[in-house]
Homo-oligomer: A and B are copies of this chain.
């Protein structure tokens, strides 16, 4: 019970050979004879030898570990993304360590630092909501730790990232609603400061102008994404001179609040709702959104992980060019891609 774990040295001592031979024997190095090799392996097994990973990592200067920093693990999007990351990492025998920023910039800075101290071989990051400075990532450069951002990415191209184009997805959504006959479409957008809000707005405008319709800015209202804020936004639409017949919401939570509110007012049947998917069971609602934008968290996690593992295995590649990967998001209507 209390006994120290078996080491290579111990095996060497018992076999009257050198530790280096034991190490080589266990790794099937050609310069160790078959007889000795077998003796080594048998003794190792019978002594329950387990390589001391800490020692190996230290020796090799590699940790075979990738770090993941994300805002909130309990959010469905992130938990399935990291689930994918772990699956991919395991295939290549990497270990995943993670930490949550809880959408706090200072915390994020600390965590990046911690990951660096842990000497992770690479880092996957989905940045926090109130991160607008990015120098905390630059330190990683001098430690040769590659970073791949996913989903919540910085607003410039000279980094590796994987993300969805919410813009093109929004175009799809608006086009779908237009085809369904809607002529006045409202949008409950997020805070204006968010890049994600901008993308949605751009997509909206793009679709409207492409279809040679007049763009009415008052049909897009910003919202703090709370239930109260959603209700206020919704009420604006009810009193609107060109009352919309369809509403695009920033995410499923907003859609949830909206639907609840409209049901209470008994006007839910006057609207088609389109949302961006993050709650898997929302389709079970009575008046669920007619369509939703699927952002494929598993796929995003998978791609991001593989890019990172690529960068790790070929370090020369790291600052040559940047992976800017866009995962096409789909509009899903009744379980069918659109």
Interface residues of A, Cβ cutoff 8 Å to B: 1-3, 5, 48, 50-55, 57-58, 61, 63, 65, 72-76, 78-80, 82-83, 86-87, 90, 95-100, 114, 116-119, 139, 141-144, 256, 260, 279, 281-282, 284-286, 319
Contact flag A86-B73 (CB < 8 Å), given A96-B99, A281-B281, A284-B256:
yes
Q: How far is the CA of A1 from the CA of B143 in the complex (A)?
A: 7
Check A118/B53 contact, CB under 8 A, given A98-B86, A100-B87: yes
Copies of this chain in its oligomeric complex: 2
Most B C-beta atoms less than 10 A away, residue of A51, A73, A114, A117: A73
Contacts of A83 on B, CB cut-off 8 Å?
Answer: 72-74, 100
A-B contact pairs, 23 of them (CB 8 A): A1-B144, A5-B142, A5-B143, A48-B142, A50-B116, A50-B117, A52-B58, A52-B119, A58-B58, A73-B80, A73-B83, A74-B76, A74-B79, A74-B83, A75-B79, A78-B79, A86-B99, A95-B114, A95-B118, A96-B98, A256-B281, A281-B281, A285-B285
| Chain B residue, CB-CB nearest to A79 | B79
* Cα of A50 to Cα of B112 in the assembled complex, Å: 13
Neighbour of A119 across the interface among B54, B86, B139, CB < 8 A: B54
Given A53-B119, A117-B50, A285-B286, A97 and B96 touching (CB < 8 A)? yes
List of B residues within 8 angstroms of A96 by Cβ: 97-99
- How far apart are A27's CB and chain B's nearest CB, in angstroms? 15
Chain B's closest residue to A256 (CB) is B284
**What B residues does A79 contact at CB under 8 A?**
73-76, 78-79
Q: Are A97 and B256 touching (Cβ within 8 A)?
A: no
Chain B residues in 8 Å Cβ range of A58 = 52, 54-55, 57-58
